[in-house]
């Protein structure tokens, strides 16, 4: 029986023990979910959506987070804003500061104020953005570094703005495949912070074909031990996942990625959000991390 190179490496170097870390998330019930317009390649208004199915799948994700000890806050859905369920696009929060968003597309601009108002009511320091960017969809915190996407939604100048707001190094990456229009569809942050017990810092997984040559070079140089995910797993939004450092909440259809995670010592937790994928979003899109002051 043949074995994969990763399997051989895993046998030679046992995976470290992964430690789950408490997270606090913001979610929004998809009570008004539908696909009535097209702003990404996944959205086809001629194909009917089932709001009840979307609600049931979303509830499973919510319940899974809570069952594993994470806190989940809720923002009220607003009629006429079907994409509010994708809370990751509503802002970017580090150390109790929330940078609001300015959507590129007209259809989502009505979400900007409800999210900033929610942040303010819940004690976060809110910074109103100047540049066009779409929150944690295109900004990912990896250790002390912010990976920032551009190419389809967030503009390059937003990378300078996020660096100024949070005082952190920002690494720009360019997306080239319109199916992966946000950074969180092509990169999964597996270890959001360094864990105790010698767990290495800043593990990521990513889809190489979603990026231009220079971005691939940067990722390979900075994250030589990253998990490289197949096109097949990327195409089912396998990388649009959330992680607490041990449990990785991932699409059940991303079977190859699940095997890669297990070989590295992670625990894949399978949650089907196939109905919400009809709107171009998955697990991570429905999950905005609320990082308080450290």
Q: Catalytic site residue 182?
A: yes
CA distance 185 to 234: 8
CA distance 267 to 18: 9
Q: Catalytic site residue 22?
A: no
Structure tokens at 15: 């995976």
CA distance 172 to 174: 7
Q: Are 271 and 249 in contact (CB under 8 A)?
A: yes
| Residue of 28, 70, 159, 182 with catalytic role | 182
Please count the other Cβ atoms lying within 10 Å of the Cβ belonging to residue 241.
Answer: 26
Please count the other Cβ atoms lying within 10 Å of the Cβ belonging to residue 86.
Answer: 30
In the block, tokens 């809370």 appear at 87
The kind and range of the H/E element at 53 are helix 51-67
In the block, tokens 């499973």 appear at 60
Q: Are 85 and 276 in contact (CB under 8 A)?
A: yes
| Phi, psi at 147, each rounded to 5° | -85, 130
Paired with 127 in beta bridges are 99
Helices 5-12 and 255-263, packing angle to 10 deg: 20
In the three-class reduction of DSSP (H, G, I as helix; E, B as strand; rest coil), residue 268 is classed as strand
| Residue of 70, 159, 285, 286 with catalytic role | 285
- Determine the distance from the C-alpha atom of residue 231 to the mean position of all C-alpha atoms in its chain, rounded to a whole number: 18
CA-closest candidate to residue 68, choices 17, 22, 18:
22
End-to-end CA distance of the chain: 49
Q: Which residues are catalytic?
A: 182, 285
């Amino acid at each position: 029986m043949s074995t994969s190179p990763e399997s051989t490496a895993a046998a030679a170097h046992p995976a470290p023990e992964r430690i789950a870390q408490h997270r606090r998330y913001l979610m929004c019930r998809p009570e008004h979910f539908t696909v009535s317009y097209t702003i990404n390649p996944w959205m086809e208004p001629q194909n009917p959506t089932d709001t009840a199915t979307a609600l049931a799948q979303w509830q499973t994700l919510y319940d899974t987070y809570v069952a594993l000890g994470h806190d989940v806050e809720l923002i009220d859905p607003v009629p006429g804003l079907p994409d509010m369920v994708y809370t990751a696009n509503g802002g970017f929060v580090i150390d109790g500061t929330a940078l609001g968003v300015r959507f590129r597309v007209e259809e989502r601009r009505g979400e900007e104020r409800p999210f900033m108002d929610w942040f303010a009511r819940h004690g976060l320091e809110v910074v109103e953005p100047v540049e066009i960017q779409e929150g944690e969809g295109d900004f990912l915190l990896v250790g002390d570094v912010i990976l920032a996407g551009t190419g389809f939604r967030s503009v390059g100048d937003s990378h300078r703005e996020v660096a100024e707001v949070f005082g952190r190094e920002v690494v720009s990456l360019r997306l080239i495949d319109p199916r992966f229009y946000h950074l969180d569809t092509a990169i999964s942050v597996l270890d959001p912070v360094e864990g105790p017990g010698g767990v290495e810092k800043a593990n990521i997984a990513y889809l190489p074909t979603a990026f231009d040559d220079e971005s691939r070079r940067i990722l390979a140089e900075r994250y030589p031990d990253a998990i490289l995910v197949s096109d097949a797993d990327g195409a089912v939004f396998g990388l649009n996942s959330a992680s607490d450092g041990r449990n990785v909440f991932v699409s059940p259809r991303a079977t190859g990625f699940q095997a890669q995670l297990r070989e590295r010592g992670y625990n894949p937790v399978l949650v089907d959000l196939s109905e919400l994928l009809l709107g171009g979003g998955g697990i991570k899109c429905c999950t905005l991390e609320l990082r308080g002051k450290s």
